[in-house]
Every structure is written in structure tokens, then in C-alpha cells.
Structure 1
Amino acid sequence: MLKGYVYFFSLAKIRKLKHKFFPNKDYLCRLIIVDTMNKGLIALAFGGLAIGMTEFTMMGILPDVAKDLGISIPKASNLIALYALGVVVGAPTLVAFTSKYSPKKVLLFLMLLFFIFNGLFTLAPNNLTLFISRFMSGLPHGAFFGVGSVVAARLAKPGKEAQAIAMMFTGMTIANLAGVPLGTYIGHHYSWRFTYAVISFLGLITFLAIYLWMPDFEARKNNNIFQQIRYFTRWDAWLMVAVIAIGTGGLFAWMSYIAPLVTTVSGLAEDRVPLIMILIGCGMFFGNILGGKMADTFSPSKAAIGCFSAMAICLLILFFISPIKASAYPMAFITGMISFTIGSPLQMMLINNAKGAETFAAAAGQASFNIGNTLGAYFGSIPITLGFAYNYPSLIGVGMASTGALLAYVFLTKVVRPQMNR
């Protein structure tokens, strides 16, 4: 009965309807309805949708791209690595050049770049321009989520910051739930270029949503870029980079090769790949919400340790049972859910540990996340090139996620607890 108008009700009406229609334990419904009513968060979620599609769709259509370009799948996976490299380069660079402007202007600028660069990728006439434009399309990614994370935290009520950030990342999970499967279907049956034309258009829609809905916060007066850069003279900043880059590599060691995994190891038909991507996206949607709740309920560091440990266990189970055809469907959902609980805890660890340099740290966190993307895809390709089956990248992921859990524990004991005891 709430229909699509729920976002535009006042908080009092939302609460009244909540008690009328959802009198029991309905945390998920309450979280989605109340915490997303802020249209600024909805605009950020649109950005997460567009960015999630441009990043993750490539993994679902990798065999199609490789076939179209006449190259091997491991070589085509360089498109994944180049995008991640673009994020690593763009996050600190774009944040540095835009630090004196208001967050709304910065977000508008970043989504304009997203629209242009993905359009170039769609129209690239040869492999060289294709690879270059793929790198360029990654440039706005880290800066968008870096600025967006700080804006989401400013929009949130006290104690709800991680859940607000999680709502921004909900756009990315919806991308995996619906956008990536749709893009995969289009790539399989028509052309991967059509898929990225749609993604480029989503960037334009996000630009309009930010322009219409985003509050125009003033730029922070103490937003000195040199002060923010000095954050990375601290050893604990580089520990956070290692936590994210290595730990999240476990997710990408598995997901970068999901299409050949389910077709060659699990024995599914190629037309089942979009369904697998839907299940992964559905799992990520719930995992993202769960991760935000965990980070606000427990400390972000403790939540990160638990999430990385669960990811390692899940990938180990996946390695052994992936040859069982029926296991492909539930494991896609479970692995996607567990793997994506990690996003909000890591962002809150960064923001909490970088007072005065929150935007730069959050952007660098996205760069670190995409270093994990690159490391996971690269190390995951090693057993494949050695002749092993496509479930062996998951075993690489076990080691990376376990290392992430260990490093998060070091961060908790050597950084967080000493700060609390001061």
C-alpha cells in the first residue's frame, strides 16, 4: 500500500504507517523506508547503481568481450584491472583538484566525467582506445564514493552514519541485483557495447538526480588538501590500505571469473549466468544492509574482522562444492551476501580514523578497494594460466580474505583500542 510515494512522506507519516502496517519486528522494512527517505541519499544511491554496473557488469560479460575482441579471457580481464587502476589514480587526484568546491558541485562534475568516459568506452573503434577509455571510466569512481561517504554521514542522524553510507552503497547492490544481470543478458544476446551505452545514460540520470535532490553543503573551511595528504604519513593509514586492498581481493578473486566458474566447473548453461548474477546481487543487497547494521551495533573494526573471516570460510566451502551443479545457485547468493557485508565497516573505519582528512581517506579507501579488485583478478588468474580449473581462484580468495581479517585485528588492537584508552 505504500507504493512508490513512500520516499516523499514526512517522518511522522512514515512512523504512523509503520506502526499500522508493520507492527511486528520489521527492522528491514523500517530501515529501507526511514533511512532512504532523504532524497540526497537516493541521489547517491543512483550513483552507486551506475558505478556498480560499470564495474561489475564486465565480470558477467567477460567471455563475450573476449570473443568479440579476439583475445583470451585472462587477457580480457585486463579491462577489470584497468578500471581498477583508473579508480586508484582518480580517487586521490580528483579529490585533490576539487577539494575547495562544495560537495554537490564535485559530485556533479564526477558524474559528468562518468557519462563522458563510459560513452567513449562504448564507441571505442579499436582495442587501444577501448583499453584507454576503460581506464578513464574508472577515474571518477573512488572520488564519488569518497565524497559521497562523507556527505552521507553528514546527512545521517548520530549513530546512524554507517547505515546511511550503506544506503548509498545500496545502489551498487541493486546494480548487482538487477543492473548487472540485465547488462549481462544484453551483452550475451546483443552486444556488450549496448550494455555500456545504457550505463553511460545512467550516469546522466544520476547527474540530474544530484542536481535536483542533493543539499548544497558548503565546502569545509578547513578542507586543506595538504593537511589531508599528511594523513598518509601515518603508519595506521597504510595499515588500512592493506586491510582493504588485500582483504577485499578475496571477493574479486572469486567474482572476476564467476561466468567461466559456473559454466565450466558447475556445468551450467551460458544462459544461466544472468540468473547467477541476480542471486549474487540479491545477496549483496542484504549483505550491504547487514554490514551497516553490524558496524553501528558493534565497532566497525570488530565487524570487519567477522566479515572477512566469514568470507574466507564461505570461499573455502565454495572451492570444494562448486563442481556440484545444484550448489551454484545458493552459493551465489550466500557468497554475495557475506562478501558485501564488508563495505560499510571499512568506510567507517577510514572516516573514524582520519579526523580532518575524511574525504581524502574515504576516496583512498575506494582506491584501495580497487587495488583489491586488481590483486584479486591478477592472483586469481595465476592458477588458471597454470591449467587449474576456475574454482581455484576461490582458494586464492580464502588466503586474501583471511589476511584481511588478521590485518583488521591488528588495526583493532594497535590503533582503535589505544585511542579509546587515551
Structure 2
Amino acid sequence: MSRRVCAIIGLVCVGVLGLAVAAFLIRGGVHILIGLAGFAVSVAGAWWVVTERGPRRITGAIALILGLVLIAVALAQVLSGTEAIIIRLLVAMAVLAVATGCTRYALIPDLHALDQTREGRPPSRPVLICNPKSGDGKVERFGIISAAAELGVETIVLGPDDDLEQLARDAVARGADCLGMAGGDGSQALVASIAIEHDVPFVCVSAGTRNHFALDLGLDRDDPRRTLTAFRDAVERRVDYATVNGRLFVNNVSLGVYATIVQQDSYRAEKAQTAAAMLPDLLGPMAEPFDLQFTTPAGDAVDGSFMILVSNNPYAATASPDAGIRRRMDTGTLGVIAVSTSTGAEAAQLMALSALGLRKASPFWHEFTAVEFEIRSRSGRAFAGVDGEALDLPTPMRFRSHPAGLRLLVPADNEAVAARRRARDVSLRALVDVATGRTPQL
């Protein structure tokens, strides 16, 4: 009953906030429209700056500045009467705090039960492969090899002429009952594929540059040594992995502009300069549409998208602190996001709708989930960035999610971290379910 009451209070608070926002939009409608117009002009100008050269690029820069001026003017008008606005903001923050607290209590009553440390059975012959060059030398900087030795973990240092896949296979052949990889996402995916093939658990040690896989698992990226405790705590966690044409990936596959740019040899040393030089040719008015086609689950055929991202579990594409991360790694689905704008006007329309939270209403934005997915091309091949690696793959590219296919060993506190992240992936529907006495579908 207390959970139902809190759910009802949370719904009421959300309704009050909605009405307050609607009233604000009605009172400041003209100025908000000016701000949106400025936003559209600035986006169109930015598109020209990116995709054009010479006088057109200068014109785009002028439009960008003009749009920013319009936004500033609109904000100055809307925010007149500072004291009253501050009071309203404080009230809104208080209502939001009540809504958040009640929603948390209603939807995740058993979260703190996971705070208790539990231990599994440590592997008897674990092996950790270390890439000394990854992450600008994180393996040496954090003393990963010595820290692993203290835990009784055999370490193998990847040399410049070594075959990483063969090292992992040889370790299993010698009797390794757990494989770990201290390196970047591409190395993690390769060693994880060998662990899956031989049905042994895998330990992800975040010793790369960005370590998106570790981030979305809720592992410590700042100090990789903390992740090494997974060998000792041995708490098993099942997560999904995905494949493209049978090749495993743990993060995502990117096609279109990004995948084309990363094929260039100069990209690694001069990322910004390479992108700036290529974008006008890839997205400008004389550019050919990308040879990429797919069909959505709703049956809509899409051709020529300049950006397609297929991820192992969907990313949170929202205006929140979770934007760009995966709250869950066990949904059993692929996340697909594609953008098919080809002009500055179309880009401005998409961005204006995005600012209003209505990007899904745009015909140029495609976002959905699927268990399996296919991308075609007329040429029979397409560039792809697979977990950051530049590849040229045959088409059709067939993507597939493999639910709970990867056995991870994680530190004992990782279960609670993962549960807190999942708890942020809630909806009004789940809150209504609790309020009406039904089991929420989280």
C-alpha cells in the first residue's frame, strides 16, 4: 500500500510539472518561437559550415551567429523578472524532488538488498592478457601486472608481433578456466569471443582509452586495479553480446560518415583535421547518398542514411545524464539509430523537433530495437566501425543479439551498481502499474 501511495504521489507531481511547463509555454509562446527559429537558423548555418567550402561556409557562419543572437534575445525576454522565475524554479525543483523520491521508493523497493557483498567461487587457473600500449600505457601506469600477480592471476603481455586471438586460444589449451583482457574495447571483444567459444568466464579490465564497455557495465574506469578483484570475488553476471556477420561486438557498429572517415590513415593522428576535410565531400550538396539500405520493424524502407549506429543493447538517446550510455546490458535486443537528413533545412527541422523532445516524429530520424537486423548495399560492401575498428564488410550485414551469452566475472559490488543503473530506466507506465496494484514491467 505504501508503494501504491508513493506511486500516486509521483504521478500527481509529474502532472503538476507538466501543467506548469504548459503554462510557461503559453505565456512565453512568442519568445519561445523566436528562440526555436534562432535554433533552426543556427543549425542550418552549422550544417553549411560543416558541409560547404569558401563563401558558402562563411555564409553558414554568419547564419550560425545570427541564430545564436535570436536565441539570446528570446532568452532575455523569457527570463525577465528574475526573482519570480527563481521562486518558480525552486518550487519546481521541490516538486521534482518529491516525484523522484516517491518514484524511487515505488519502483525499486529491494535495491539495497544488493548492497550486501556476496562471493562466488574464484577460478583456479585465471589468465589475464595485457596490452601495454593501450590507453597510453595504463597497464604499466596502474601496476596491473603486479596487482594481478598478488591475486594469483597469470599474466601474458601482448607483444607487437603477437596474435591476440592465438594467445587467448593457447591459454585455454593450457587449462585456463577464466580469461581476462586489460585493453581497449576491440581487444575486449576479441578475447570475450574466445571465452564464449570455450564456455569460460571473462573479466573486463578497463585499460583502454575510452572503455565504453566497462562504462556501461558499471565498472571502475578510473582505476583498473579495482576491476581485478573480479578474479577474487568471482561474482558471475550474464550479459548480452551481439554479432555482425558472425563477428562479435560488445559496443556498437557504426556505418556512414564516421565509418568512412576512420578508414583514412590520417584519422588516428589528426582526427579533427581529417573530419573537417572530408565532411564537405561526404555531406555537401554534391555528395552522393550513402549506399546503405534497411527496413524498419514497422516495414518502412530507408535508403541513403548518412549515419547508422547498431548497438549491443540500446543507448539512452535522451536529454539526461544517461545520454549516450546503455542503462542495461541484458535486454536481449539491438539498438538502432539512423539519420537520413541530406540538407541544412532537413537538419534544422530534425534539430528543432529534437529540442522539443519530438525527434521521433521526424521522417529523418529512425530509432528502434530489434533482435535481428539487416543492412544492405547495392555495391555488396560497406565501411563499418566495429567497436572502433575500421573494417570493410560484405553486405548484407546481418546483426543479431545473443541474450545472456557472455559470462562475466565482476567485483562483488557491481551487481548493485548495475541495478541502480537499471532503476533509472523507468517509465510512467511502470509507475501507473504500481499505482493500480499491478507488477511493473521495468
Normalization by structure 2: what TM-score? 0.22
Higher helix share: 1
**Greater radius of gyration (CA):** 2
TM-score using structure 1 length: 0.23
More relative contact order, 1 or 2 (CA 8 Å, 6+ apart): 1
